[in-house]
Amino acid sequence: MPAATGRESPRIDAAVERRDVVVAGAGLVGLALAAALAHHGMTVTLLDRAEGGTGTPEPDTWDARVYAISPGSAAFLQSVGAWQALDCERIEAIESMHIVGDTGATLDFSAYELGERALAWIVEERALRAALLPTVHAARVEFVTGARFASLAWSASEGTLTLEDGRRYSASLVVGADGLHSWVRQAAGIVAEPRSYGQQGVVANFECERAHHGRAHQWFRDDGSVLAWLPLPGRRISIVWSAPDPLAYELLTLAHDAFTDRVADAGGNALGALRMITPPVAFPLQSLRLPTSIAHRMALVGDAAHGVHPLAGQGVNLGFGDAQALASVLAERGPVGDAGAPILLERFARRRAEPVLAMHTVTDGLVRLFGPRTPWLRTLRNAGLSAVDRLPIVKRLLAQPALR
């Protein structure tokens, strides 16, 4: 395959650093994968284009970026030493979830009824990153920051990633964990552009007048948007308003008090008066489906491999699932000493194909189902919500893939 080239920079001579695995991208999934691989005895280099050192955030502030970590992801993070390092006062369990359709139909999930401690845990991005970084260093992963990728080339036995300053890193396997617009994916010749949903995810954090009791709320609204309230520690919530572009732009232009009133009204003032503690920000919602997540001596994980709508809150969990699956396949490789052997990559791809396809199908299906304002379709989808709510077995079948 042709190498991908970046802009020219002064070249310095450098010996090739050979490893079992090179992971490109040190987001949450890349960090967890690098630690897991190293725990299984593999030599790992983790390359990140960002510069190191983000500083220590003020403890009385809250990150607008939060994730709903499933029990399965929590178990994986615990296996690499990150989950137990989190400050329990910055985590909140979702013990129940109340979903409302656009004509008032409801669907409820309960962790107790499903035999779980929690449906998910809400954790800030910065807290997860702070917990994962020490696990990478403790596992003796070589961590290179400020790594500006220049080219990626393959031979029969290895992939070599070259940086703009001339340093080269070779490994039996190169893993792209570098996000939705993955440089590694493009360099591998896997051509795919994310598809826009024509929506923005508007996020913000609030203090609440009344306690949330660990309950998450989600409203499918008749304007085609989806509003979620997620519990934070104390009387606080984080909101994600998946809104069509015109509505998102309107929300972002509101004064903070007006935006707060809009959020409270949209949620039926379920938690009383709200007070904003983190101003709203927005990110575009996009879908990414790939024909394959593997190539010669290359694998993709996380957002580099797939992009799903956030209404199910499963994007980062899919990424952690990728990391866990790839680490397990390589740990269980037996007499196959080559980490980039085709048989192992194909095993990884098969293991991830079904859960990724299922999540794409569910999220895309819900967006299409609740987007149109056709009267008969509105009646049908709300009747479906009510029917599922009356069938505990069906609810369990729906919940189990997200939990694990």
What is the side-by-side order of every strand in the sheet holding 92-94?
Answer: 66-69, 120-124, 92-94
CA distance 23 to 30: 7
Three-state DSSP at 182 gives coil
pLDDT tens-digit series, residues 377-397 = 667 676 766 666 666 665 666
**Percentage, residues of the chain above pLDDT 90:** 72
Residue with tokens 């699932």: 321
Residues lower than pLDDT 50 in the chain: 1-14
pLDDT for position 378: 66
For residue 350, give the nearest of 292, 303, 307, 402 by alpha carbon: 292
CA distance 242 to 201: 4
The predicted model scores a pTM of 0.90
pLDDT tens-digit series, residues 21-68 = 999 999 999 999 999 999 999 999 999 998 865 556 677 899 999 999
Residue-wise DSSP of 173-227: EEEE-S-TT-HHHHHTT----PEEEEEEEEEEEEEESS--TTEEEEEE-TTS-EE
Domains of the chain: 16-56+129-194+288-367 (3.50.50.60), 66-124+197-287+373-403 (3.30.9.10)
